[in-house]
Structure 1
């Protein structure tokens, strides 16, 4: 039995992960979010739900007790939130972390799409980069994710790149990102220390097709 803590469980990607975990007897899931009403439409039978803010270190540390894997999918001041997660993990003695950031934090997106991406979100990326740097400086068993621009397409189709490779593709579905996260939950030894870009193959271009 693997104990999984999902932080930011009402997020668009996390909702797919929660749906994938519904009914699983090999995983015991705890959902941590500020407002449980936001997931009232999901099947959370058998899951523990904890309402709390990520920056409430005492409450988050309590929720971390006994967990094997922490999956964090957050929005806001990412470096501050990442530090709060790291502090709670250290206090609770949890080692395995899956943390979602953004493409572009290493200026790894090439070509015209890279230029467009910098214009669109470049000003917002420094806290995401600082969050990744904080995680990489730890001795945790982490996997950092950098998905492309996200769609709500009902599909699972993705490829990956590493930290030191040019990013490929312009978009990926949230459902695909969730599917990759599920592979990490099912095989916690996979991609430890990885800093993984996620994109849908065949979506190369100057910008995402939906923009």
Structure 2
């Protein structure tokens, strides 16, 4: 595969995550980008390519730690979990301080109550009370940040290696119940390769033909 010719500095926050690892593998294979990999306990990554990858060990709720990772970045891709509201605040503060504008932020379906019907009710049952609401508030922080963001809202995640997805925009009913991590990674890679696309968008991602009351694996 011919590599992209425009080299970028890409910071990956939450670099040990399953989707993030797919993105990293593809960027190393398909581009000449330099990757800064940020995570807690960097030893989990194992060996890296020192010519292409810089590892930063830190706490994603710490603006100071994040500042070390985002400084000089062209694009920040955030695949975070845990204290997601505090992480959103810290990412925005670190990027503003560093003068970095482009952010790709992984969220979840349902943050706008956009999932219709029985699946929407099931999704609320599964995610309310400590997950959905913090992710919604974190997304609101990103949307109000003034950054050049794209928010990605995946359906329920599964591990099929195939890339097969459709998208919806904020304000449209969510489609489907599930999607592969490889598909979400593909969306991220396309945005990194074409960073002017999708700015200010919040994009739902699902596998076509998976409509139903809940994902097939439940």
Shorter-chain TM-score: which interval? over 0.9
User: Aligned partners of 1:31 and 1:148: how far apart in 2?
Assistant: 25
Number of paired residues?
211
CA-to-aligned-CA distance 1:92-133 (integer Å, 9 cap, x gap): 000000001110111100011111111111222111011111
Aligned to 2:162: 155
> Residue 175 and residue 44 in structure 1: after superposition, are their counterparts in 2 closer, same or farther (change >3 A)?
farther
Aligned to 1:120: 126
CA contact (8 A) 1:23 1:45 kept: no
Aligned to 1:78: 84
Q: What is the SS of the residue equivalent to 2:110?
A: coil
Mapping of 1:83-122 within 5 angstroms? 83-122=89-128
CA contact (8 A) 1:168 1:199 kept: yes
Shift of 1:64: 1.3
CA contact (8 A) 2:177 2:210 kept: yes
> Residue 182 and residue 78 in structure 1: after superposition, are their counterparts in 2 closer, same or farther (change >3 A)?
same
> Residue 115 and residue 44 in structure 1: after superposition, are their counterparts in 2 closer, same or farther (change >3 A)?
farther
Shift of 1:45: 5.8
Aligned to 1:32: 38
CA-to-aligned-CA distance 1:145-172 (integer Å, 9 cap, x gap): 1100000111100100001000000000
CA RMSD after TM alignment: 1.4
Aligned to 2:16: 10
Q: What is the SS of the residue equivalent to 1:22?
A: helix
Unaligned runs of 5+ in 2: 1-6
Q: In the alignment, does 2:198 pair up with 1:191?
A: yes
Unaligned runs of 5+ in 1: none
Aligned to 2:144: 137
User: Aligned partners of 2:22 and 2:196: how far apart in 1?
Assistant: 22
Aligned to 1:146: 153
Aligned to 2:184: 177
TM-score, length of structure 2 as denominator length: 0.93
Q: What is the SS of the residue equivalent to 2:202?
A: strand
Aligned to 1:164: 171
CA contact (8 A) 1:19 1:42 kept: no
Q: What is the SS of the residue equivalent to 1:102?
A: coil
